[in-house]
Each structure stands twice: as C-alpha cells, then as structure tokens.
Structure 1
Amino acid sequence: MNRETGAAINTVEHIAQSMTDVLSTRLGTRVMRREYGSLLPELVDHPFNDTTRLRVYAATVMALMRWEPRISLSRVQFLGATLQGQSFLDIDGSIVDTNEPLSLSVPLKLGGGV
C-alpha cells in the first residue's frame, strides 16, 4: 500500500518505498527498533567531497543489506543534491526471489519537510 495515497502498489514500488523509509530514518528514532534506519541523515550537512560520498555509499549498503532482504545490490551511485535541494540515490541490483533486475532512483528526504 502506498503510504501517501493508500492505493495498491506492486512489489517494485513497495521496495522503493521501503528503501526510502530505511535510508531516511535516523538511527535510534524508532521506539521498539532502535537499530532501524541508516547513517544517511547524519551526513546531511557534511561537505560534498569524496569522503562524504564514500560514507553515503557505505551507509546505504549497510542499511539496505540489513533492512531490505528482498534485494541484492550491485551498484549505488550518489550524485549530490539538485538546485532545489533534492538528493537521489541511483540503485541497481536484483530482486532476490525472482532474480528480476532492479534499477531505482530513490529520493532522499533527509531535511525538514514542507
């Protein structure tokens, strides 16, 4: 189910929604799941350089390997933020059960919402 509209969604859309939730959740903020989330929200104000990019990749892979067992990752790419302040992760891999290729652009909602 789509979290914003309540409409039915397919497996790939549900995986994308789940990945966005995992990656944008700060560690320690879920009451009964303190380990749920990723380190990405901690990297919001860091300078956009090679070190930060490597930390983004590591935080993404570690969080998705732990919290999204339906996928197998093969590539993660982070290009930075757009002029509107939106960040996207391009993720390639496959769905574990069907071995179907998966290519997603996951929006990161790491700052304050409007």
Structure 2
Amino acid sequence: MAKPFLGVGLKFPLQWDEAGNFQQAYYEESVHQSIWVILSTAKGERVMRPEFGCGIYDLVFEPYADLTLGQVSLAVQEALLQFEPRIDVLDVQIDSGSDPSTGLLLIRIDYQVRATNNVFNLVYPFYLERSAL
C-alpha cells in the first residue's frame, strides 16, 4: 500500500540505479534514514543549520557512568523530538554490552510512526572515547 504522506527522499548514503539516477528512500525507510542522519550529525556540523544534529557527540569524552548514559539517552530523545516530527519516541535504552572497556554503547530506539501507528526500532552504535572509561 502506498504511503506518500510519509515522504520520499534520497537514499543515504547516496546510491545510483542502473540508469544513473539517484535511488530514493520511501515511507518508513525514509523515516529510518532520517533518524540515522540526525543521530550521525554533531551539532554545529552543518554550516547553514548549526543547531541540527544530536548532542551525543558532546559526551564522547565524558566518563563512563550512569550519569553519562542518562545524558546520551536524553540527547537522543531531544534531537528526535526536535528534528523528526513524523515519529513518537517510545523508549531509548542504552546497552554497554559485556565489555564496557571498548567504549561501545548500543542505543536502542523504539519509535512509532505517527501517520500509520506502526512501531519500529533502530540500534545505533556510539563510542565513548576509551580514555574516558
């Protein structure tokens, strides 16, 4: 079933089809890719939109502690609330895995697409600097 109300955009990263045209991301895939772009962009990275992005990159050198994990969760929720109006964030969970010394945080985001009420999740890997551990 077509869902044009969710939008269509360029695939990220940019990809081309056999005819040399840019491939497009449709509907829920467009939403998923938008979330990934928001999380992958540090605030201040975009010249014409310095406020765009996620504040998790301000926390890279913070010590590995419950407070930092809470700040990561809050930064993700705030960024998605501000920059992705097509979703409701249901839950953000941070998993440090079995070996916190790697600095790897797996950020699991459960979200609901407002227009369809379909629920999805996304796991975004993020690294704290090891010297902060």
Does structure 1 residue 107 correspond to structure 2 residue 125? yes
Residues 36-71 of structure 1: CA deviation (Å, up to 9, x unaligned): 011101111222211001100110010000001111
1:61 alignment partner, SS class: helix
Residues 56-113 of structure 1: CA deviation (Å, up to 9, x unaligned): 01100100000011110110011136867654311112101111112222334888xx
Identity %: 32
Change (3 A) 1:74 1:4: same
In the alignment, structure 2 segments of 5+ residues that lack a partner are: 1-9, 16-22
- Do 2:113 and 2:119's aligned partners in 1 also have CA atoms closer than 8 Å? yes
TM-score normalised according to structure 1 size? 0.80
Partner of 1:66: 82
Partner of 1:19: 35
Distance across 1 between alignment mates of 2:128 and 2:70: 17
Choose between structure 1 and 2 for higher RCO, CA contacts under 8 A separated by at least 6 residues.
1
Within 5 Å, which residues of 2 pair with 1:69-84?
Answer: 69-80=85-96
Equivalent pairs counted in the alignment come to 111
- Do 1:20 and 1:108's aligned partners in 2 also have CA atoms closer than 8 Å? no
- Do 2:96 and 2:103's aligned partners in 1 also have CA atoms closer than 8 Å? no
- AA of the residue aligned to 1:59: A
Distance across 1 between alignment mates of 2:84 and 2:128: 19
